[in-house]
Copies of this chain bind each other. A is one copy, B any other.
Amino acid sequence: MSVTRERILELGENLIRTKGYNAFSYQDISSELGIKNAAVHYYFPSKENLGTSIVKTNILRFEEMTDNMRTRKFDEWQQLETFVKVYIKSNREQKKCLVGSLSPDYVTLSDTTKSELKRMIDIILRWLTGLLESGKEKGMFDFKDDSSSKAFTILTSLVASLQLFGIVDGMDYKIYCQSILDDLKP
């Protein structure tokens, strides 16, 4: 794969995760990479195409992470902590996560981007639900709700906390994430 293509993907993702989908333009990308606007269209004919590709890339990255944890036989706590660390890194870089960046703009996205985003959220929730379920069975986690509700609560907490931490001050993100994890301790 072309290095320029990968740079566009990476920069596009960063732009979505800082400015949002509807606030970034092909000019933002081309000027940053020192190429012309038409060069971006050469790799990604439309913004819809670029957006969809970015989501697809993120799905693959997530699946690589979970596959990797499974082959390395991470237990439920280790897997959850690894997952949370992704958000801690995002917060350190002053970025939102892709789900938290695109979801509020859902109605303005094209059908293909919509369905990839939906797929991404489904994949994350399915993984997290399974993790909570098996962790609960083993007595590693304790919570009242059913696993899919709890998965949804944890995901929404992480997603929106990245959005709000860029605004409110006087809070420590790591400590906040730790409280999410502590809440699951038996």
Chain A: residues with CB nearer than 8 A to chain B?
18-20, 22-23, 96, 99-101, 103-108, 117-118, 121-122, 125, 144-145, 148-149, 152-153, 155-157, 159-161, 163-164, 166-168, 171, 175-176, 179-180, 182-183
Contact = CB atoms under 8 A, between A and B. Distances in A.
Listed residue (A104, A121, A159) with the most chain B CB atoms within 10 angstroms of its CB: A104
Nearest to A171: B152
A147 to B, nearest CB: 12
Given A144-B183, A176-B152, A183-B144, A164 B107 contact: no
A103 B164 contact: yes
22 contacts: A18-B107, A20-B20, A20-B22, A22-B22, A100-B104, A101-B104, A106-B167, A125-B168, A144-B182, A144-B183, A145-B183, A149-B179, A152-B171, A153-B180, A155-B164, A156-B156, A156-B159, A156-B160, A156-B164, A157-B157, A159-B164, A160-B163
A160 B20 contact: no
